[in-house]
A and B are shown apart, each in its own frame.
Chain A
């Protein structure tokens, strides 16, 4: 019954695949370009260039290439264990007074840096095989899913715009038909997320073997990454079904309007006009699924800026919006006449 919508989905995902393939090709080109900088030998050669440094290379029984650089003049010792695609484990021991003042534990992507001080010496441990927080992947996957959701979010309006004679003379109820086409779009949005994650993983795999971390905030990011595009899709689907004759304008203006409303909520209510604008924008923004996207990021000490209860509320609102906006679209569809 929903063959037409599946064709639309196929065409949309085909375009997405082409775009993602271009990114992978760019990553391959980049990987080839930086290849000579990525070998252990090149890295070691670069580090051993310092005057007076002594370099030792060995191969451990498990195949790990170990390189030790010692600079007695600087009281510095660097041990690099190269595990190939499994990453590198680097331990730098140096005088505290030579180290920078900042004392951070940093995790960026798969690179984890842990610093510790022991008397006059400081030890920095760098692991490049750390797990990659899924939230990084979901950030881009969410953006792509939102784009796909915006593109597909007028399935019923497209039928109203000149194809009702076909859509409504099929032997199935209007509700079933509407749920079928919306289901096809939901599948496409989820597929877009998955494809983006796979493409990102492939890109990263060209440089290292990433381990994805789904724990803690990452699991929440995945849940939010699924819920937000679906709620956004349902909202636009309802809007386009109600304003079917101008569904293109609805889709085209959706992002600018969402951004403007979001910006207006940031106005400081210093006077009456600003207060009114702020309050009106705030009230309207409650209807926008993007409002409930948390900008919380993991911090270096592993905490997040919002509590679990807050997340549960946000994800519940997104789920309710998906259902409510979807029902609104179906309700309107049931009353459409050719």
Chain B
């Protein structure tokens, strides 16, 4: 498979639009992170991608073709919550997967289960939440699929196993496969993903390579003598993505030319000007909740 194209997808549940004109292009290889607050539409996106839910409008294409049942042989999915059958053993889940998917490798699955310390003889109902997640991950990665769609794959796992999952994802990408995953743990996304998309209210609000997003975006902060300062056209600069004014302080989210903007702030009368780097968490928060992001940065500055 080359690319996954999500083209202007809208999915409504009654009056609520879970996806609202959602468009995204996911490359065929690499790790792609999907970020967003609760209710942003990440899980709905995955369900639409897998045919588990039908888009109200729009289309999703794999290599330019709509999803067919045969394509599911090459797509592995780990759901957000446990979908294991409580009354079945882990070994029976392996057998179920082996019978359904031609490329499933039971030995690889056993190795992964061993890495997660899961006994295949145990019934699913006897497993903890983290172990259930581990079983689903082992079954998905042992399928040797070309596309892995992982919804909160590290949920419930301990830090060691979380690291294992991230390594597995990076290994899959190295093999030329595509890993699409969602997570609330932005540190993990930053560590594993090459590209991200940030969703909010069913739309993509930010997308790009992680390094580019981090490199381009900075906060330029200026402190003026009083609250009646004039920015002198700085806010209208195309490189200024957002302006937040609080009393005597102004914070500008800039997508480039931070030093130049800082010089212009000084020229406009700012007593002190600072340029702050953003990490992925800051970028995410700015994308989905600018107010929270600003407050967060202020707190960090004070504490430092």
Binding site for B on A (CB under 8 A): 1, 3-4, 7, 162-166, 168-173, 337-338
Contacts and interface: CB of A to CB of B under 8 A. Distances in A.
Contacts of B85: 4, 163
B70 A171 contact: yes
Given A162-B83, A165-B83, A4 B96 contact: yes
A1 B100 contact: yes
B50 A168 contact: yes
Query: In terms of DSSP, what is the predominant structure of the interface of chain A?
Result: loop
B148 to A, nearest CB: 12
B52 A164 contact: yes
Q: Which of A7, A163, A164, A171 has the most CB of B within 10 A?
A: A171
Interface in B63-109: 69-73, 75, 77, 79, 83, 85, 88, 92, 95-96, 99-101
A171 B69 contact: yes
16 contacts: A1-B100, A3-B96, A3-B99, A168-B52, A169-B50, A169-B72, A169-B75, A170-B69, A171-B70, A171-B71, A171-B72, A171-B100, A171-B101, A337-B54, A338-B52, A338-B53
Nearest to B53: A337
Interface of B: 47, 50-54, 69-73, 75, 77, 79, 83, 85, 88, 92, 95-96, 99-101
B95 A337 contact: no
Contacts of B53: 337-338
Contact of B88 (A7, A168, A173): A7
Contacts of A168: 50-52
A170 B52 contact: no
Contacts of B50: 168-169
B56 to A, nearest CB: 11
In the complex, the 6 A-B pairs of residues with the closest C-beta atoms, listed nearest first: A338-B52, A171-B73, A165-B79, A171-B72, A165-B83, A3-B96
B92 A7 contact: yes
Nearest to B102: A171
Contact of A3 (B51, B70, B100): B100
B46 to A, nearest CB: 9
A337 B99 CA distance: 24
A17 B88 CA distance: 21
B68 to A, nearest CB: 9
A169 B47 CA distance: 10
A166 B81 CA distance: 12
Contacts of B88: 4, 7
Contacts of A4: 85, 88, 96
A11 B92 CA distance: 13
A171 B73 CA distance: 5
Contacts of A170: 69, 72, 100-101
A3 B219 CA distance: 56
A197 to B, nearest CB: 29
Contacts of B72: 169-171
